[in-house]
Chain A
Amino acid sequence: MHHVVLDRWSRGGSALHRRDARAKTIAVLVFLIALGTAQRAFLPLSLFYLGILAAAILAAGLPIVAALKRAAVVLPFTAVFAAISLAAGEPMRAAALVGKSYLSALAVLVLVSTTPLPELLGGLERMGVPRYLLMVAQFLYRYLFVISEEAQHMRAALQAKSGTLKRTLWDRAKFGAAGRALGVLFARSYAHAEGIHQAMLARGFQGHFLTLSGRAFGRADAFFVAAALVIVVGARAAVEAWI
């Protein structure tokens, strides 16, 4: 599964992995804004930015082909709009849509595959994002795997019971069966949540999550942010001045 692979990638030990989550988040935001607002000389700029991201992937010791493929998940959505733009006689706009959405996704991929999600969320919390929201996101991420597995069992059971899905135009019985299956999945998820809460209380939970890690924003992180700013913004200024 996608998130399991990312989880493994994110626990590497490269210099990029070791940077503070805040530093990487800021760098990615700068990148996204510089890319998103670009208009002139888009093609050379996007090639240059692709180079920067590829260098980051290699520096982080991640498999580059797999990473490039993973970021392509945005392309089906983008392709529809790009095709419309092409048909409307705007090839540059089509290229910009494809380039911007792909490079943006790749940049986010580099961020999450060099930063374990809990660390990333911790960084966001220290940047002022509401803690409650981040805790919900953390539990969501943790239980994605457990609940998805149950859903897969249910899907298999449904298919075994109802055979193929091609018979009638509107099968109320099958529709209802799928509804009931989801009702049961809902009830089970609810029971999981209660069980988790009991287990938390049993281990002395008093309403606040305390964590072991307390990574500090060091000099190397400040340097990293500065370097990212100079490279990303400088590259764009240079490309636009030349072309």
Chain B
Amino acid sequence: MHIPDGFLATPVWATLDVTAAPVVGYLARRAQRGLEQSKVPLLGVMGAFVFAAQMINFPVGMGTSGHLVGAALLAYTLGPAAAGVVLTAILAVQALVFQDGGILALGANVINMAIVGMLAGYLPYSLWGAGRWRRQAIFLGGFLSLLTSAVLALSELLLSGVAMPAAVLRISLGLFVISAVLEGAITLAIIQALASINPDFLRQPRSDGARTLGWIGVAAIFLAVAGVAIASAYPDGIQKLADATGISSQAKTLLRTPLADYQLGTMHSVWVRKAGAGLAGLSLIYGALLLGGKLLARKRGA
């Protein structure tokens, strides 16, 4: 599910990078506020735990086994903000050190797993985690977190024009559902084990901002499903959609105008625009990060 570089179309990865950057910045500040500064090692070691947890296989029968992915588990034990930070750190280390998942695609992977997938996993827990349906809520959380991440990744690939015949699409959706059931069951098994070791490991479900975030997660699930539906209806992906709505021609003029001022427009090749879009995306991320950081630093200083 870690999308490598080279799969996503430039508008897709650039948009997701620009979206992910401020959200991660927000989560980092929220986590930092919620836990004392001292808890930095805790988040890091929990990240290492998720890496290591993936070595322990759960027997599923018929000679196969599965392993934990961990977004929902982290959300229940560290809270959603800290879980988002840990998962982002995991994805960054995987992309850098293990070449698992791309660098330009990091924003996409962070949105899919660390943000939307994690929040989708947290939602049932925040709604029903304290009551009679606690076990079911925990299972459902694990299930939803994995399914959401997978469907989002799939829709991004389809939007980028990666060819996928209907049969392959159906098979992969089936596989996603199986892995999601497994993730739910593993998450539940671990949570029950943790509750018997020390109930303090689990965070009581909170109904404040986290629940709002959870609903955003659900909205994202619907968007993702809609994305898959649309993308499979238009196999050529975003290009057709963009042409139909006229977005792409507008985007082209937008991108061409500033470049023309610097005499680069005379080269008239497609890649200048494409590379320009990529660079613009990156500068946007960079700008958003710096601006967000500065604004918050000023707010805190005031």
A interface, CB within 8 angstroms of B: 2-3, 6, 28-29, 32-40, 70-71, 73-74, 77-78, 81, 84-85, 87-88, 90, 93, 96-97, 99-101, 103-105, 108-109, 111-112, 117, 120, 127-130, 132-133, 135-144, 146-148, 150-152, 154-155, 158, 162, 165-166, 168-171, 174-176, 178-187, 189-190, 192-194, 196-197, 200-201, 207, 233, 236-237, 240
A108 in contact with B96 given A178-B59, A186-B201 (CB within 8 Å): yes
Is the beta-carbon distance between B44 and A136 smaller than 8 angstroms?
A: yes
Residue B263 at the chain A interface, CB threshold 8 Å: no
Which of A100, A111, A146 has a CB less than 8 Å from the CB of B5? A100
Q: Lowest 6 CB-CB distances: which A-B pairs, in order?
A: A139-B44, A100-B6, A179-B189, A183-B193, A104-B5, A140-B47
A37 in contact with B274 given A117-B97, A128-B289 (CB within 8 Å): yes
Tell me which residues from 166 to 216 in chain B have a Cβ below 8 Å from any Cβ of chain A. Answer: 168, 185-186, 189-190, 192-194, 196-198, 201
Tell me which residues from 247 to 290 in chain B have a Cβ below 8 Å from any Cβ of chain A. Answer: 267, 269-271, 274-275, 277-279, 282, 286, 289-290
Return the chain B residue nearest A174 by Cβ: B59
A144 in contact with B28 given A104-B103, A117-B96 (CB within 8 Å): no
Return the chain B residue nearest A96 by Cβ: B6
Which of A133, A144, A185 has a CB less than 8 Å from the CB of B88? A133
Which of A90, A111, A184 has a CB less than 8 Å from the CB of B163? A90
Is the beta-carbon distance between B59 and A171 smaller than 8 angstroms?
A: yes
Q: How far is the CA of A87 from the CA of B162 in the complex (A)?
A: 13
Main secondary structure of the interface of A (DSSP, over half): helix
Instruction: Chain B residues near A187: list those with CB within 8 A.
Output: 194, 197-198, 201
Return the chain B residue nearest A236 by Cβ: B271
Is the beta-carbon distance between B28 and A84 smaller than 8 angstroms?
A: no
Residue B68 at the chain A interface, CB threshold 8 Å: yes
Return the chain A residue nearest B44 by Cβ: A139
Main secondary structure of the interface of B (DSSP, over half): helix
A130 in contact with B193 given A135-B44, A147-B48 (CB within 8 Å): no
Residue B49 at the chain A interface, CB threshold 8 Å: yes
Separation in Å of the B28 CB from the closest CB of chain A? 4
A-B interface contact total, Cβ < 8 Å: 283
Separation in Å of the A191 CB from the closest CB of chain B? 9
Is the beta-carbon distance between A112 and B45 smaller than 8 angstroms?
A: no
Interface pick from B33-41, B127-135, B144-152, B218-226: B33-41
Q: How far is the CA of A3 from the CA of B48 in the complex (A)?
A: 13
Interface-centre pick from B28, B39, B164 (highest chain A CB count, 10 A): B28
Is the beta-carbon distance between A143 and B5 smaller than 8 angstroms?
A: no
B interface, CB within 8 angstroms of A: 2, 4-7, 10, 13, 24-25, 28-29, 31-32, 37-49, 51-53, 55-63, 65, 68, 77, 85-86, 88-90, 92-93, 95-100, 102-104, 157, 162-165, 168, 185-186, 189-190, 192-194, 196-198, 201, 267, 269-271, 274-275, 277-279, 282, 286, 289-290, 293
Separation in Å of the B296 CB from the closest CB of chain A? 10
Instruction: Chain A residues near B197: list those with CB within 8 A.
Output: 183-184, 187
Separation in Å of the B147 CB from the closest CB of chain A? 19
Return the chain B residue nearest A201 by Cβ: B38
Instruction: Chain A residues near B37: list those with CB within 8 A.
Output: 207
Known interface pairs A112-B97, A158-B56, A178-B189; 15 further A-B residue pairs with C-beta atoms within 8 A, sorted by A's residue number: A36-B278, A37-B277, A39-B274, A84-B168, A103-B6, A105-B99, A133-B92, A135-B40, A139-B44, A140-B45, A165-B57, A166-B63, A178-B57, A193-B46, A194-B42
Is the beta-carbon distance between A73 and B99 smaller than 8 angstroms?
A: yes
Which of A33, A165, A240 has a CB less than 8 Å from the CB of B269? A240
Is the beta-carbon distance between A37 and B45 smaller than 8 angstroms?
A: no
Which of A32, A179, A190 has a CB less than 8 Å from the CB of B103? A32
Separation in Å of the A142 CB from the closest CB of chain B? 7
Can you report 28 A-B residue pairs in the complex whose CB atoms are below 8 A from each other? A29-B103, A33-B278, A38-B271, A78-B4, A87-B165, A90-B163, A100-B6, A100-B7, A105-B5, A105-B102, A132-B31, A132-B85, A135-B44, A136-B44, A136-B89, A139-B44, A140-B43, A144-B52, A148-B48, A152-B55, A165-B59, A171-B61, A174-B59, A178-B57, A179-B190, A185-B49, A189-B52, A194-B42
